[in-house]
């Protein structure tokens, strides 16, 4: 069977060039006689891999010198605990809840201190981003937290919230490296890589150095202390070596594409093809207000659950896979990450157009 067009929200499509390179090096990485899966994380080979990956990421994102780059494990969900454990000096954190992942982070932080929901879009099924220009920021808030791109509901912060001087922490899992980010606007910008960068198992956290201290909540596990990981350059214990290796290859692929500004331009073109069709369609409808639409995750529905199911079944048979919406919302969702080619979006829209003609 040939390659399908994989619209999965994550683990998600990777650049074919990266997969081919990894396949060629599977049995023997650069004359080592070993796969990267087999080599010691203390070896010279892996030391070069992780250092080069960090250098390329710093180049791509223009990461300032006073930020540490950490390659971590445990998924973004583990950071829902690690962040309050490390940052809650005053015991207060403010949350803008725009979807399930921000909601989970908010609930988790409530175990360690006072978590305050200062804005939410739950009243309209997370279909929009609330106005964040003048929020009731708590005077004692240690940080303000957002999930910048909502994978499930397909929304995206186009303007960062006004935190009134408080540290901004952002989960960018599903928009990581899809466009430029001004890292200095964040105290922590982090995300799981399995949506837009690499295989599941790696979390990249970019943390301003003044937030990395020994002053953490009592009982914070050694592994969840930012300082533990920073002091050992992500090598306190065995890291997810192969995942980091693939991330490094994706960083180089992104640089070859022209960097993040070029990727944003391409992603805007791909998303426009899909959203323009949804806006004109008599059958399919997008579920997000236009001004808050994500470039990465586009949910849509027909309004008929049986027709949704038929569409997903026929699309899968035609080679457009993983279009079923998240179990919590139903419908469909096309995740069109960096590695999804323009051709994939064009062919999906052509299929949707035919399906509409045949089923209206």
Question: Which residues have a catalytic role annotated?
Answer: 101, 171, 195
Length of the chain: 360
CA triple 95-96-102, angle to 5 deg: 80
Nearest Cα to 22, choosing from 257, 340, 244?
244
DSSP 195-243: TTTS-TT-EEEEEEGGG--S---TT--GGG-HHHHHHTTT-SS---HHH
d(CA 194, CA 151): 12
Helix (H) / strand (E) element for 171: namely: strand 168-171
Q: How many CA atoms lie within 13 A of 326 on its CB side?
A: 16
CA triple 185-189-194, angle to 5 deg: 145
d(CA 232, CA 237): 9
Using CA atoms of 275, 181, 170, 236 in order, give the dihedral in degrees to the nearest 10: 130
């Amino acid at each position: 069977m040939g390659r399908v067009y994989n619209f999965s929200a994550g683990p998600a499509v990777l650049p074919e060039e990266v997969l081919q390179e990894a396949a060629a090096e599977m049995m023997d990485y650069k004359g080592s006689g070993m796969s990267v899966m087999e080599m010691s994380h203390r070896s010279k080979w892996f030391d070069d891999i992780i250092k080069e990956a960090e250098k390329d990421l710093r180049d791509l994102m223009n990461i300032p010198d006073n930020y540490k780059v950490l390659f971590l494990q445990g998924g973004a969900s583990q950071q829902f605990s690690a962040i309050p454990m490390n940052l809650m000096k005053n015991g207060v954190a403010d949350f803008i809840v725009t979807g399930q992942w921000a909601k989970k982070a908010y609930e988790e932080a409530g175990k360690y201190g006072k978590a305050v929901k200062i804005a939410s879009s739950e009243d309209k099924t997370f279909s929009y981003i609330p106005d964040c220009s003048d929020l009731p920021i708590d005077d004692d808030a240690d940080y303000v937290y957002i999930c910048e791109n909502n994978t499930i509901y397909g929304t995206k912060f186009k303007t960062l919230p006004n935190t009134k001087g408080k540290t901004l922490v952002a989960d960018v899992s599903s928009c990581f490296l899809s466009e430029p980010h001004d890292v200095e606007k964040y105290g922590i910008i982090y995300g799981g890589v399995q949506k837009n960068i690499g295989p599941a198992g790696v979390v990249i956290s970019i943390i301003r150095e003044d937030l990395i201290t020994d002053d953490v909540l009592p009982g914070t596990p050694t592994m969840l202390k930012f300082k533990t990981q920073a002091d050992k350059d992500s090598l306190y214990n065995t890291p997810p070596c192969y995942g980091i290796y693939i991330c490094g290859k994706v960083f180089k692929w992104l640089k070859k594409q022209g960097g993040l500004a070029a990727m944003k331009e391409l992603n805007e073109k791909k998303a426009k093809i899909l959203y323009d069709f949804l806006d004109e369609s008599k059958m399919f409808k997008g579920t997000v207000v236009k001004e808050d639409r994500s470039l990465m995750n586009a949910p849509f529905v027909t309004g008929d659950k049986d027709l949704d199911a038929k569409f997903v079944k026929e699309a899968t048979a035609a080679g457009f896979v993983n279009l079923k919406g998240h179990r919590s919302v139903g419908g469909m969702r096309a995740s069109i990450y960096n590695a999804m080619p323009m051709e994939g979006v064009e062919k999906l829209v052509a299929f949707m157009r035919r399906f509409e003609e045949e089923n209206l």
